Structure 1
Amino acid sequence: MGIIERVKKAQQGDEQAYLELFQQYEADIYRTAYVYLGSSEDALDVVQETAYKSYKAIATVKEPQYFKTWLIQIAIGCSIDMLRKRKKEVQWSPDLLDHLAAVKDEEDIPLSVSLRDLIDYLTAEEKHVILLRFYYDITIREAAEMMGIPLGTGKTLLYRALKKLRMRVEEGDSREFKSN
């Protein structure tokens, strides 16, 4: 049974179909939350909150083929809510960087720019848009909607982040970025 069929069954009240769907993407939800929160305990809380919210709202999924995107959007929203409650920035620990490096193949990142560089040299908003756009392959329009920002702002953030990364490649690893 494919994703579309499972989503339709879940929307009709089939709890087993929902459970199978959620379990299929649970690791992605955890990784997403961990990237935002930097804590395995908080990430697990977000997984639980995402399960609860998505189960209650499964009937609202209009395009079943985008179920994973819909789930990730809920997880990001839950992560951002948790960050707001904390009232502080994500702390990017060395353990988090190692975890992220293991998750994404570095061959997708050009030349000397590694995932560690991406995290170290971008602002929180730039990280957010880059992760959504390139890690989850979400369009810039969808990323802007998920972040609750205008499309133009999303494009600006993406452009600025890519410009920083290009500068990093051209200048080499020995030179530090300025924050803007």
Structure 2
Amino acid sequence: MKRPEEDEDGFRALVQQEWVSLTRTAFLLTGDRDYAEDLVQAALEKTHRRWGSVAHLDSPRAYVRRVMINTATSWRRRRSFGELPQEPTEAVYLPGGFEQVEQRQQLLAALQLLPPKMRAVLVLSYFEDLPDQQIAEAMGSSVATVKSQRSRGLGRLREQIGVSPLFDTAVQEG
């Protein structure tokens, strides 16, 4: 059995290795950098409390990801301070290299309009590049639900942004 300080070293290593990736995923789930950092910290705090059992899992990162998704979903349900996401702005042609930046901004705004679990499926599919089975495990659902949520989520994004080759490229590039 590991000594407590060895368990702490394992947790510290997880945080150091995964912080950037977890923060990126949290940003895509929340749409706000401050909320994203709060979400990662909350998920890591919950994980740390159970680290003795989590450290022995095949993928502690997958556990943290699931905690993040559940926490983001519960935060969204509890949000009662009246914040509403803004509708995506109409695309404006900007000469030069700004079109891709504008497209990404529209994509991020459109993601925020999706329900939390649908957004999580899209983020884990296209930005984390996870297979359906791992997404289903992270979401606590079936592979069929993941596929259905992804299909409906992409449909809603296409309705909001419009179908264009740039949209598909922005989704694929993450």
Q: Distance in 2 between matches of 1:72 and 1:30?
A: 10
CA distance 1:169–1:11, shift in 2 (3 Å) = farther
After TM superposition, give the deviation of residue 120 of structure 1 in Å: 5.0
**Equivalent of residue 60 in structure 1, options 53, 62, 86:** 53
- Aligned: 1:49 with 2:42: yes
1:132 aligned to 2:124?
A: yes
Tell me the C-alpha RMSD between the 2 structures: 3.8
Corresponding residue pairs, total: 147
Residue 97 of structure 2 corresponds to which residue in structure 1? none
Provide closer, same or farther for how the CA distance between residues 159 and 16 of structure 1 changes in structure 2, counting only shifts above 3 A.
Answer: same
Partner of 1:168: 163
SS of alignment partner, residue 50 of structure 2: helix
RCO higher in structure (CA 8 A, sep ≥6) = 2
Consecutive unaligned residues of structure 2, counting only runs of 5 or more, are 89-99, 168-174
The answer to whether the 8 Å contact 2:65/2:138 transfers is no
Aligned to 2:151: 159
Q: Give the Å deviation of 1:90.
A: 7.0
* Secondary structure in structure 2 of the residue aligned to 1:137: coil
Partner of 1:17: 10
The residue that corresponds to 1:142 in the other structure is: 134
Are 1:85 and 2:81 counterparts? no
Instruction: Name the stretch that deviates more: 85-94 or 134-143.
Output: 85-94
Which segments of 5 or more consecutive residues in structure 1 lack a partner in the other structure? 1-7, 95-105, 107-113, 174-180
Asked if 2 retains the 8 angstrom alpha-carbon contact of 1:133 and 1:143, the reply is yes
Q: What's the TM-score, normalizing by structure 1?
A: 0.60
Q: 1:126 to 1:80 in 2, by over 3 A?
A: closer
Q: CA deviation at 1:93?
A: 9.0
Q: Which amino acid aligns with 2:122?
A: I
